[in-house]
Structure 1
Amino acid sequence: MSESLKKTARIVVLDRDTLPEDITLRAFSFPHELVAFARTKPEEVAERIRDADIVITNKVPVRREAIGDARNLRLVAIAATGTDVVDVAACAERRIGVTNIRNYAVNTVPEHTFALILALRRSLVAYHDSVRAGRWQETGQFCYFDYPIRDLAGSTLGIIGDGVLGRAVADLGHAFGMKVLFSDYKGTTGMGPLYTPFEQVLRESDVITLHSPLMPSTRNMISTDEFAMMARRPLLINTARGGLVDEIALERALRERQVSGAGFDVVTTEPPPPDHPLMRLLDLPNFILTPHVAWASHEAVQGLADQLVDNIEAFERGQPTNMVAA
């Protein structure tokens, strides 16, 4: 038995409210004390983790200055895939392990992506709102055609990001009879015969969906110049990361009809302030904004919670999994 299993480990959860109430964390098998905070402000992190052996965070930043006095800290377990909330390099210097969650959203994110695509391609929200406003009765006939309706079959789906989620989206696209193009990353060429140049994907796609990480090279990779290339006025879908799209340029592109519509689940600032560019678009019938919930099916979130416990258990056994390199 490792030394860590011989004493009671203090486990501190910094933002329990980022998981739904009906999601349970399986009990840990080793001696432990679990302290869960609903939310934690950045200035509260250092004090709350000071005596922790293990810290669990989803979106609360754990930075170099916060871990400075956390002398017992052995592991930061991220309850998400993205690792940008943790100063991984600082943890590595202190020999503090960092783990993350992987491949838990392989169904929920692609399904949410296609929910947005279908809703926009068939103007479902616009028709629903117009029925609620009494438009059907006004027409005096069995149907009306105020908003465009387009099939997916035979259209072209451009996917930027070829990880497990991008490939799952491609599978759904094929099932709908779509032609699927995987894009080279912006500014790169020659990734192989399965990839189409970035600019060509922008020109030829009827739907463009983003499944890329947010890095310096991908920040604002869709902006004014890229919208100008979109000859087919595609739908633009982002269930990946806020910041991949220049949001001011998106507002202009929608209002000037450079794109047929947009469905976003992520925003650069979450929650967005009332004057955020995407909040100003909510009056448009061809724009849908959901509150970063593409990942949040019950099945996916319970799988995340189970994997989170598995990561911590494996670390305590001395057989760490899903470790993040500095």
Structure 2
Amino acid sequence: MKIVLLDGLALNDDLNWDSLKELGECRLYDRTPVDDNHEIINRISHTPIVLTHKTPINAEVIHNSPQLKYIGIMGTGYDVVDVKAAREAGITVTTVPTYASDAVAQFTFALLLEVTNHVISYQNGSLNNQLTDFKGNPLTALRGKTFGLIGYGAIAQRVAQIAHAFSMTVIFYNHRPKTVHEKWLQQVSLDELLTRSDVISLHVIQTPQTINLINQATINLMKSNVILLNTARGKLINEADLAAALNSDRVGAAALDVVSSEPIKSDNPLLTATNCMITPHIAWASRETRARLLAISVDNLKEFLAGRQQNIITYK
């Protein structure tokens, strides 16, 4: 059985693929050019099994890879694969759900706390013997503020628990209504969430319906000092609209672990926006979390080879 791993660099430095090598003849690439369909096809066209982290497998790649039977996505979201084309070609696609829920929830609050507490700025001031300027660089208390979650899957649920622990009012919107048991949690409409929230955190997958979910129209419903967090997918935000809102003080601050094109391009308007913090999609990247990702990715393939279903994307 031939297996191709298109982009294993994120796991290769301190983890190994011995468990994958036990399943077949492996060709492991650190990286594959994400914008070069010809090279992607060249690497996978003669193999039935492919694992990918961020290398896209689009319809053109699928149509030119006739031996392909299985695509294992090393992550939770599946926007990296054209699942419609895969379904039509009879290809099984799996993901790794919930592997990073705690890690991403932790990082979401790391972003928020940096925005509200300016730890790095105050540290730099201390190192440079600068006088403390509370008014010019004010701290913000979270207690009593309203934390709004757009989406309420596994990660969002962990974030909600942390927000509650900070004595925040927690509300959420989900496109499919959820059963709520917690007395401290309230399910609301999207418009109500946008208008009420002091902090808005995005936790939905990227679909045609969620691309540009945050745009000028939805921003106009938000409080002018709102803090926007995104640890989900960059294309959920219209970046030009957000940059304009930040630069005009229509949005108080944004802290983003994802952008529309990664690595970030030099002409991304958010790079010059005020009060905008950007990290390079690393919320998931603790060693413990990456080890879990590797183990589940290999286990997904084991189950497929044994004729069983595990973490398979269900097509609708």
| Same-fold call, TM cutoff 0.5 | yes
Aligned to 1:123: 118
Q: Which residue of 2 aligns with 1:61?
A: 56
Q: Following superposition of structure 1 onto structure 2, how do residues 296-307 of structure 1 map, counting pairs within 5 Å?
A: 296-307=285-296
Deviation per CA, 1:137-194, whole angstroms, max 9, x where unpaired? Answer: 4x3xxx4313010111111101111111111100000111110011255xx9x87884
Per-residue deviation, residues 238-258 of structure 1 (Å, max 9, x unmatched) = 111112122112112112222
CA 117–49 in structure 1, closer or farther in 2 if over 3 Å, else same? same
Alignment of 1:99 onto 2:99: no
- Equivalent residue for 2:280, pick from 286, 291, 315: 291
Q: Does 1:32 align with 2:24?
A: yes
Q: Return 81-90 or 313-322, whichever deviates more.
A: 81-90
- Alpha-carbon separation, structure 2, partners of 1:253 and 1:87: 33
The 3 A distance-change label for structure 1 pair 72 and 30 is: farther
Aligned amino acid, residue 325 of structure 1? T
1:262 aligned onto 2:254: yes
User: Which deviates more from structure 2 when the two are superposed, residues 201-210 or residues 162-171?
Assistant: 201-210
Q: Distance in 2 between matches of 1:54 and 1:167?
A: 33
Cα distance change on mapping 1:184 and 1:307 into 2, 3 Å: closer
Which structure has more relative contact order (CA 8 Å, sep 6+)? It is 1
Q: Does 1:82 align with 2:77?
A: yes
The residue type equivalent to 1:176 in the other structure is F
Structure 1 contact 99–322 (Cα < 8 Å) conserved: yes
1:1-326 matched pairs, under 5 angstroms: 9-28=1-20, 32-41=24-33, 42-132=37-127, 134=128, 136-137=129-130, 139=131, 143-145=132-134, 146-185=136-175, 194-231=186-223, 233-281=225-273, 284=274, 286-326=275-315
Shift of 1:318: 1.2
| Aligned-residue offset at 1:275 | 2.1
| CA RMSD, Structure 1 to Structure 2 (Å) | 2.2
Structure 1: how far apart are the matches of 2:100 and 2:211?
22
Q: How many residues align?
A: 306
State the distance in 2 between where 1:320 and 1:162 align: 25
- Specify the SS of the correspondent of 2:234: coil
Q: What are the ranges of 5 or more consecutive residues in structure 1 without an aligned counterpart?
A: 1-8
**Aligned-pair identity (%):** 36
C-alpha distance in 2 between matches for 1:11 and 1:164 = 30
Answer whether contact 2:256 2:277 (CA < 8 A) is retained: yes
In structure 2, the CA distance between the partners of 1:28 and 1:124, relative to structure 1 (3 Å rule), is: closer
Q: Shift of residue 94 of structure 1?
A: 3.1
TM norm structure 2: 0.89
Contact 1:24–1:302 at 8 Å: present in 2 too? no
**Contact 1:206–1:232 at 8 Å: present in 2 too?**
no
Contact 1:76 1:96 in 2 (8 A): yes
Shift of residue 320 of structure 1? 2.4
Query: Does the 8 A contact of 2:147 with 2:198 survive in 1?
Result: yes
Sort the Cα spacing of 1:71 and 1:180 in 2 relative to 1 into closer, same or farther, 3 A: same
Verify the 8 A CA contact 2:23 2:302 in the aligned structure 1.
no
CA distance, structure 2, for counterparts of residue 156 and residue 117 of structure 1: 13
Report the CA distance shift for 1:231/1:85 in structure 2 as closer, same or farther (over 3 A): closer
Amino acid at match of 1:155: K
Native 8 Å contact 1:28 1:309 kept in 2: yes
* Structure of larger gyration radius: 1
